Structure 1
Amino acid sequence: MTNETTVKIKRQLLTLHYNVMNAIAKWGHLSVPSLHKLMPDKRPLNALYKATRELTAWGWLDCVVDKRKNKIFALTSRAVQELGIQGLETRGRSFLQMDIARTVWAFDQDGFFETLGLEAQPSIKMLDCVVKGPHPKALIVDHDLSHVSKTFQRIEDFTSAASPDAPLDIIALGEHRAAELQRFITQKGFRFQVHLIEVDV
């Protein structure tokens, strides 16, 4: 194999790794089949599996196993910083904020948690997480990049599908939003908990 061929192959691999991170930055958590559907340059599934394994080993991606035993990949903070240094603007930045807040919160809880809506979605799922165990809970994550009325609507949708007494926690990423959500819940007479988690991404 000539030096020129070797350089060309290495360049293609680096481009693939960059494109994988770019797609995850744009869409949030993704599985390999979702990457395969969403990436503009179509690559074989086995190449994407190899790239995600390598990026995880190098510390650029975190791997989460969902309730169906699928591997879902998310950017590490190191990868987010690297893409930021390169000046990449991602439409999915709000997904990154929400995913980090959800993961931080969920790992602090007792018992098993399963993530919902981790596949690429055109819009955010109503429930972001369900915590299982002796005291199961549902979780909605609010973030400053969407209007607070959307979170209000999600809470009301939840109560109509479940009940005002159902176990639900709401995560706010800023003090102002936490206070606003607490006022809304108090006015409605709901007994949900609002948690403030300040996440810097």
Structure 2
Amino acid sequence: MPDVLAAPVEPRILDELGPLELWTTTVTVARAATKAGRDRLGRLSGRFRAAERIRAHAGRLLDPAYLTFERQVGLDPTVPPTVLERDAREVVVTGQLMPSHPVADVRLAILAEVGVPLGALDAARTTGPWSLRTVVGGESYRGGGVVAANDLVVADAVGPVAPVVGDPPGDLAAGPRTRDVVLYAVRVPGIASWEVSEAVWRAATYLSAT
């Protein structure tokens, strides 16, 4: 099992927003992850009462610390910033956390279990080391999409690969056919460091079927 590593965070971000951390690991998706992911979401649908949690937390499954952080960076916490969370609202209607493909399923499972939002990049399209930093003027996402100077981003050795909150753009995001996945999560003030690093580790064990 690959190690879960703490990536560098730009000092200016720490000064402005507090003790943020970026945790990453790279994992190969096992064939068994597809069935295991579907089974896991089926069990979680009843055990965690996701529909009730979504109703109680303004349509979100996140730990409240992440909602506070979204307000802090100027986002509306009542509007889910990822496709995964928007799709998860279907549980209110269906009563089930609906499976899609292994990477999406593991992200949804971790969100339901511990409230930590995971990002997932196609490891074939990004080159470590990764970091959490602000955008330099003139930079852009390799996968397409607008990025403004001073925006907070997850970056690799070449440039920005994802916003600090939201989905990676274009084909940088891991999808149904992705074999090697970079999993990452940002620890924000109000949630323990070990909870976030363990969430990344747990997702990696799920995907590798270990």
Tell whether the structures are fold-level matches, with TM greater than 0.5: no
Larger radius of gyration: 1
Q: TM-score range by the shorter chain?
A: under 0.3
Q: Is the helix fraction higher in 1 or 2?
A: 1
Q: Which has the higher contact order (CA 8 A, sep 6+)?
A: 2
What is the TM-score when the length of structure 1 is the normalising length?
0.23
What is the TM-score when the length of structure 2 is the normalising length?
0.22
